[in-house]
A and B are shown apart, each in its own frame.
Chain A
Amino acid sequence: MTRPMPRTVTVTVNGAVYTRAVEPRLLLSDFLRDELGLTGTHVGCEHGVCGACTVLIDGDSARACLFLAVQADGRSIETVESLGTVEALSPLQELFREHHALQCGFCTPGMLMTGIDLLRKYPLATDAEIRAGLSGNLCRCTGYEHIVRAMRAAVALRDAKRDD
């Protein structure tokens, strides 16, 4: 068995352009974590169920563990590191904190990226809609109630800004 030739990929991650030679089989999740050192994207199952590795690819939420780095060539990726900082949290991060929407914090980056995607695209008029939207991201700590409350507050904030 010979190892396949590396391929060169150019990917925009959180606004910065990276060019790397990677094995064709390298997962996007491992590319982000090991090649770029962006360890905020977590890996929970590597079979696309738990949602911990959720990132945005060209603006759509996707599982980084079901995506190859070579497939990301020429695309734009957003990870949790694109949101706020420890000193200045983004509005959604601040609402997660205010509503205690995280405990161990392992699923949180994926939950936030899914939340951002939902907030950008959907009305989220009911809690049922929020829960359905979040149902692809598993959290074992919170029982989801506080996450739903944080999302509800984020919807209110978003809609208030739209009404301005």
Chain B
Amino acid sequence: MTDDPLARPRNIGARIKRVEDPRLLTGQGRFTDDHAAPGALHVAFKRSDHAHARIAAIDTAAATALAGVFAVYTAADLDGLVGPVRATSRMADYHPTDIHPLAHGRVRHVGEPIVAVLAESRYLAEDALDRIDIAYDPLPALSDPEAAAAAGAPLLHDAAGTNVLATRSFARGDAEAALAAAPLRVGGRFRFRRKAPLAIENRACLAEWDRGRRLLTLTLSTQVPGIVRDLLADLFDLPGHGIRVVAPEVGGGFGGKASLYPEDILVAALARKLGRAVRWTGDRLEDLATTSHGFDEIIDAELGLDRDGHILALAAEVIGDVGAYSIYPWTAALEPVQVVSFLPGPYRVPAYRGRVRAVATNKAPMGPYRGVGRPVAAFVMERLVDMAARRLALDPAELRRRNLVQPAEFPYRAASGIVWDRSGFVECLDGACDAVGYAALRAEQAKARAAGRLYGIGIASYAELTGIGSRISAAPGMPINTGTETATIRLDSTGAISAAFGIASHGQGLETTLAQVIADELGARLADIQIIHGDSAAVAHGTGTYASRSAVLAGGAATLAARLLKERVIRAAAHLLEAAVEDIDAADGRVFVVGTDRDLSFRELAKAVYSDMGRLPREAREELEVTKVYDPYFGTTTSATHICALEIDPQTCKVRLHRYVVAEDCGRVINPLIVDGQVHGGVAQGIGAALYEEVVYDAAGQLLTASLADYVIPSAGEVPVIETLHLETELPANAGGFRGMGEGGTIGAPAAVANALADALAPLGGEIFELPMTPDRLFRLIEGLKAPGKGA
């Protein structure tokens, strides 16, 4: 039967146009703020303009008196209504923090919500904000994480007893001894500054309480409707079917919409209390000041090698500035711990010691951001490798080749304990070198250098664990299962197919790719398949879309469920077509007896099963609905090599990217168009992280980058043409053969750009230890290198 061309997969692997697009292109996509809710009360928040202070008094009388204002709430008004949430973890040496919907006596970062005004319109609610007086008793602001970690520093959270909210260490062998004995050591203090996820749609929520049915519906711009539902059910002591969390169209997330925020909890609680619709749509200032930030680590790292360039040992001490609260549900450990667990990268590192501290400061909470820890890990490790190559006068590609885990060595247990399954580490490096024309590019660089131009080439190789199963949580010790995914596939009485999942697509095109998987596995037509997602009511348990999990886990669940459903369809068809099960197959929405013209459409088959009683024996009428939960248990390895060529304008310090090539192994590609798009978008964010994007707080904890004029993301003029190469070395042994690839672009790009910048500055003796390398930082670096007595 498999020889039948009709039975072969024809959707998976094809550049299929997205199902989602027509509604989004015509303005018919309905994002949270697009949902009409007549009579809804609009919320505006009075937020802290202090980094750290006690709230001495709040006067809301004038605001309450304003026409059009319905009510004004402070923390005191919430007693008995809704309490704090706390991100717990089984990690030792971890301290959770209480997160209140409104500041409870004390503020710990600029932008923290203190007072909520409910009014007939957002305009009126904002008018009322101007009439609120808050008296603060300022407390010392902790802006520097090293100072915050020091003994005797003022405490942000008295209950924690320390500002170090989490510590963790990893060790293999005796890294210190191996380093001491290493013939070559390179290292230094690396700094990757704080960045913002910056989805173009700001956070927004709309809560509606149906008094009659006692049903709370929360329409929320979130990546994790399932996690939000489960938490609110606990918080409000409601049954799961008493709360429905719907993530409609979501205008980008990138990790920033993967957490539960105080505003969401407050809006939900007030709608329930008031029996009215309550809504809040954040503005850009609120987004930059309160949506979780990414990165912000100091890394002291050292790499030891032998004279042939083989890595002997790696040691790193990491401080993560996690901001004012341990973010729900991921915890403050998430980002900085991943820096240390992924630092050894795709290399053989015989001895490793990595230690990390997550330190609270008076800044917005740190949370998941695309790549989580790994962009910082790749930046440091790839810099170390290039620094070593320079010292050894070896080509950076060659030094990588000598240290990458080789094909025969998989599965390989990395120095931090992560197990890499077979992935194209070496193949991606070679593929990227071929695609970029590495030798010719080096020749071009030599010419440019001879002409005095600052032209650099940067390579970055990395590996990531994607599609993580139930064995470990996506965040260390987090008591929430992120490792399973549910698919319920139903062939209804009209022959149409609906498939429900716990994922929540917000740009990834999962309505298309999951339909492609089901179409091939079930033998259905793409047009007959509807994907239901982003709705906590869709399946019994779901979390959402984050951590490069959805194609692997939902694709796997879809594969398993569709296979079972196909068996049932074929058994029914065997009766109807009077043929043996072995002789029947399905393709393109029809079941047929192979090699004959005897067939039925899915619609005809469904009518026979559901409606046309008598056509099938009673015992042959099986349910045409299948639910399968898929748990890959471990994760699977995605790897890539990025190569870029760039030039620094010595006059303006503007960086121009000439070439950018990505070779990656994400297993079986479901839709090359979508994979390309994910890579392009990830690389663009990584370029932003390397050159432009920085959330800046001053020493007093004041936020200086609260607009898009101050927080700069790349526009079409800054992002180069990005060339991609997809390699399938060996498919992972999971259902479907897919690997996750939503984050990789952002992991590789900062490292590749940093290495290219260092390469461009090599004639001056320059190295790069800090990102983003803004024009200002580049200028100061170059001036320093030119100064007498400095540089090479």
Chain A interfacial positions (CB closer than 8 Å to B): 1, 3, 23, 25-26, 33, 37-47, 49-50, 52, 79-81, 83-87, 89, 93, 96-98, 100, 102-109, 112, 127, 130-132, 134-148
Main secondary structure, interface of A, reads loop
A69 → B minimal CB distance (Å):
12
CB of B200 within 8 A of CB of A104, answer yes
Which of A100, A109, A131 is close to B716, meaning CB atoms less than 8 Å apart? A131
How far apart are B494's CB and chain A's nearest CB, in angstroms?
21
Given contacts A25-B123, A103-B507, contact A79 B27 (CB under 8 A): yes
Q: Are B26 and A49 in contact (CB under 8 A)?
A: no
Does the CB pair A39–B249 fall under 8 Å?
no
Q: Total interface residues on B, using CB and 8 Å?
A: 59
**Interface contact A143-B681, CB-CB below 8 Å:** yes
Q: Which of B30, B67, B716, B722 contacts A147 (CB 8 A)?
A: B716
- Whether the Cβ atoms of B25 and A142 lie closer than 8 Å is no
What residue of chain B has the Cβ atom nearest to residue A93's Cβ? B25
Question: Which residues of the partner chain B approach A79 to less than 8 Å between Cβ atoms?
Answer: 27
- On whether A140 and B713 interact (CB within 8 A), knowing A46-B283, A106-B251, A146-B677, the answer reads yes
Task: Flag if B251 contacts A42 (CB, 8 Å).
Answer: yes
Question: In the bound complex, do residue A100 and residue B252 qualify as a contact, i.e. CB atoms below 8 Å apart?
Answer: no
CB distance from A48 to the nearest CB of B (A): 9
Given contacts A105-B20, A146-B676, contact A93 B26 (CB under 8 A): yes
Q: Give the distance in Å from the alpha carbon of A96 to the alpha carbon of B252 in the complex.
A: 18
* Interface residues of chain B: helix, strand, loop or mixed (majority): loop
Stretch at the interface among B31-39, B154-162, B348-356, B495-503: B31-39
Cα–Cα, bound, A11→B509 (Å) = 37
Q: Does B250 contact A (CB under 8 A)?
A: yes
- Please tell me if the beta carbons of A144 and B719 are within 8 angstroms of each other in the complex: yes
- In this assembly, does B452 line the interface, its C-beta being within 8 Å of a C-beta of chain A? no
Please tell me if the beta carbons of A106 and B18 are within 8 angstroms of each other in the complex: no
**Cα separation A130 to B719 with both chains bound (whole Å):** 13
Q: How far is B14's CA from A100's CA once the two chains are assembled, in angstroms?
A: 13
Among B27, B508, B707, the most chain A Cβ lie within 10 Å of the Cβ of B27
B residues near A (Cβ < 8 Å) are 17-18, 20-31, 33-34, 36, 66-67, 123, 127, 198-202, 249-252, 254, 283-284, 506-509, 673-674, 676-677, 679-685, 707-709, 713, 715-717, 719, 721-722, 745
Q: A residues within 8 A CB of B679? A: 143
- Given A40-B28, A45-B284, the answer on whether A143 and B22 have CB atoms closer than 8 Å is no
Q: A45-B284, A132-B716 are in contact. List 10 more A-B contacts (CB 8 A).
A: A39-B27, A45-B283, A45-B707, A50-B708, A103-B507, A109-B27, A131-B716, A134-B716, A136-B715, A144-B716
Which residue of the partner chain A has the closest CB to B252? Answer: A104
Residues of B within 8 A of A33 (CB): 33-34
26 contacts between A and B (CB under 8 A): A1-B66, A3-B67, A39-B31, A39-B33, A44-B202, A45-B708, A46-B283, A46-B284, A49-B709, A81-B26, A85-B26, A86-B28, A103-B507, A103-B677, A104-B506, A105-B21, A105-B251, A106-B200, A132-B716, A134-B716, A135-B717, A136-B715, A138-B715, A140-B200, A140-B252, A143-B679
